[in-house]
């Protein structure tokens, strides 16, 4: 017997009818002989509706009260799912994050997990019942907290790690992770398996299906993830560094298990939520770059890429460019302008209409030809690269905002990613 943690997102729990579909899937898993613990998000748009109510009474509500409000959403979905299972003849007990033993810091709205003591979940599952746990929420002492964006995935992985689950299944409204966003790159194919490192890079650079924190947690605690659709029985995408945990009937043959580790580029991600900040005309003196970096890193949440060029009209000066989250751009520029007398640069520009495309693959480690192939392909398509950054297994470029999608298609083709096994399996209307 294995222990399976299943996480269902709001799109899989939009109404009581989808609640029944999810319950039938849980029952099927039970009847196949597995123990099951389930993590749920709020139904459909409930969280947004609650946030709208809050917005109606206060533009800037206290974070503690906002968490109190939003956590009502999972409470509703988990209780209804427990009732639905009960009606199908299966014992089920629902638990708030706090009841499930998920302890967090008291940073309301973006609390971090400090520990998980899933005693009640373990007892419930051992008694033969299905344990249903509210995602997204935890407890800090006697107070109720939320984990922020993607929090339900994080809850599911934390629970799976703490109970020693064999797999954490992340159910969504698409069949799994794809080589690119199928809404943009129409011949994108579903990935049967990804290493945790590859999944991390894709999640960090724009892939929307998996949240970075949950992948980090899965990697740290060796929790195999299986990202799949709650609307079909097709196998999804496994995220794991241990291919032996993938079931034998998954469409990765023994041969492909070997080759799968060698893929040059596994997939790509794109995003529009970046801006380019350029500091023009910085004196080329010791410490001037460090002073600029210091101002920026005090202001923004993440600096992704840095570029350096000589200022066009004056070879004694240097320009620095940064890729920043678009929400941070103006704040960083203001901070720099405030420090301008001390830093001595000419001026600052912020370009918001840029985007980023990243290619990711473990095989890039041993393949020095990747950057050349990328520049050739983009250049042939008339796409200018503003900034570039690399990790061992990733290469990201910042391009004009209106060329992001085209760059994604060009690179998908240039790195031989188009599906060779028929069309990408994406459900109508979805693709997130």
Binding site for its own copies (CB under 8 A): 16, 19-20, 50, 53-54, 56-59, 61-62, 64-66, 68-69, 71-73, 75-76, 78-80, 82-84, 86-87, 92-94, 96, 99, 120, 142-144
* CB nearer to its own copies: pick between 14 and 351: 14
Shortest separation between residue 217's beta carbon and its own copies, angstroms: 25
- 347-360/394-400 β-pairing: antiparallel
* CB nearer to its own copies: pick between 95 and 178: 95
* CB nearer to its own copies: pick between 78 and 414: 78
* CB nearer to its own copies: pick between 141 and 316: 141
Shortest separation between residue 328's beta carbon and its own copies, angstroms: 27
* CB nearer to its own copies: pick between 65 and 242: 65
* CB nearer to its own copies: pick between 80 and 227: 80
Shortest separation between residue 120's beta carbon and its own copies, angstroms: 7
* CB nearer to its own copies: pick between 77 and 278: 77
* CB nearer to its own copies: pick between 21 and 386: 21
CB 418 within 8 A of CB 412: yes
Shortest separation between residue 46's beta carbon and its own copies, angstroms: 10
Shortest separation between residue 201's beta carbon and its own copies, angstroms: 38
Return the HEC string of the chain. Answer: CCEEEEEECHHHCCCHHHHHHHHHHHHHHHHCCCEEEEEECCCCCHHHHHHHHHHHHCCCCCHHHHHHHHCHHHHHHHHHHHHHHHHCCCCEEEECCCCCCEEECCCCCCCCEEEECCHHHHHHHHCCCEEEEECCEEEECCEEEECCCCHHHHHHHHHHHHHCCCEEEEEECCCCCECCCCCCCCCCCECCEECHHHHHHHHHCCCCCCCHHHHHHHHHCCCCEEEEECCCCCCCEEECCCHHHCCCCCCCCHHHHHHHCCCCCCEEEEEEEEEEEEEEEEECCCCHHHHHHHHHHHHCCCCCEEEEEECCCCCCEEEEEEEEEHHHHHHHHHHHHHCHHHHCCCEEEEEEEEEEEEEECHHHHHCCCHHHHHHHHHHHCCCCCCEEEEECCEEEEEEEHHHHHHHHHHHHHHCCCCCCCCCCCCCCCCCC
* CB nearer to its own copies: pick between 56 and 249: 56
Shortest separation between residue 7's beta carbon and its own copies, angstroms: 19
Shortest separation between residue 1's beta carbon and its own copies, angstroms: 25
Shortest separation between residue 132's beta carbon and its own copies, angstroms: 9
Shortest separation between residue 16's beta carbon and its own copies, angstroms: 5
């Amino acid at each position: 017997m294995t222990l399976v943690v299943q996480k269902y997102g709001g799109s899989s729990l939009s109404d009581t009818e989808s609640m029944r579909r999810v319950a039938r899937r849980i029952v099927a898993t039970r009847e196949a002989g597995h123990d099951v613990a389930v993590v749920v998000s709020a139904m459909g748009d409930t969280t947004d509706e609650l946030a709208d109510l809050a917005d109606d009474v206060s533009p800037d509500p206290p974070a503690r009260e906002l968490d109190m409000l939003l956590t009502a959403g999972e409470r509703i979905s988990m209780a209804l799912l427990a009732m639905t299972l009960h009606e199908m003849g299966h014992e089920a007990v629902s638990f708030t994050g706090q009841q499930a033993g998920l302890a967090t810091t008291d940073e309301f709205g973006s609390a971090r997990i400090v520990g998980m003591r899933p005693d009640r979940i373990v007892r419930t599952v051992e008694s033969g019942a299905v344990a249903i746990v509210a995602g997204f929420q935890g407890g800090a002492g006697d107070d109720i907290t939320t984990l922020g964006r993607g929090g339900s995935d994080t809850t599911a992985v934390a629970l799976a790690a703490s109970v020693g689950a064999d797999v954490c299944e992340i159910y969504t409204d698409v069949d799994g992770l794809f080589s690119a966003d199928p809404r943009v790159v129409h011949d994108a194919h579903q990935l049967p398996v990804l290493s945790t490192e590859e999944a991390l890079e894709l999640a960090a650079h724009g892939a929307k299906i998996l949240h970075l924190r949950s992948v980090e947690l899965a990697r740290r605690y060796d929790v195999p993830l299986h990202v799949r659709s709650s609307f079909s029985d097709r196998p999804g995408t496994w995220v794991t560094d241990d291919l032996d945990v993938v079931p034998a009937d998954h469409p990765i043959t023994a041969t492909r298990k070997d080759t799968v580790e060698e893929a040059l580029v596994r997939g790509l991600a794109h995003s529009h939520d970046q801006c380019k900040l350029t500091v023009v005309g910085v004196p080329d003196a010791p410490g001037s770059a460090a002073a600029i970096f210091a101002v920026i890193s005090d202001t923004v949440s993440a600096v992704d890429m840095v570029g350096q060029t000589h200022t066009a009209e004056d070879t004694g000066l240097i320009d620095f460019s940064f890729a920043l989250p678009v929400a941070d751009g103006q704040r960083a520029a203001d901070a720099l302008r405030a420090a301008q007398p001390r830093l001595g640069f000419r001026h600052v520009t912020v370009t918001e209409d840029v985007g980023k495309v990243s290619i990711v693959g473990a095989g890039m480690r041993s393949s020095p030809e990747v950057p050349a192939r990328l520049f050739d392909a983009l250049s042939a398509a008339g796409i200018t690269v503003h900034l570039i950054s690399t990790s061992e297994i990733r290469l990201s470029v910042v391009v004009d905002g209106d060329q992001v999608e085209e760059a994604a298609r060009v690179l998908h083709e240039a790195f031989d990613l188009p599906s060779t096994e028929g069309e990408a399996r994406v459900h109508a209307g979805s693709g997130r």
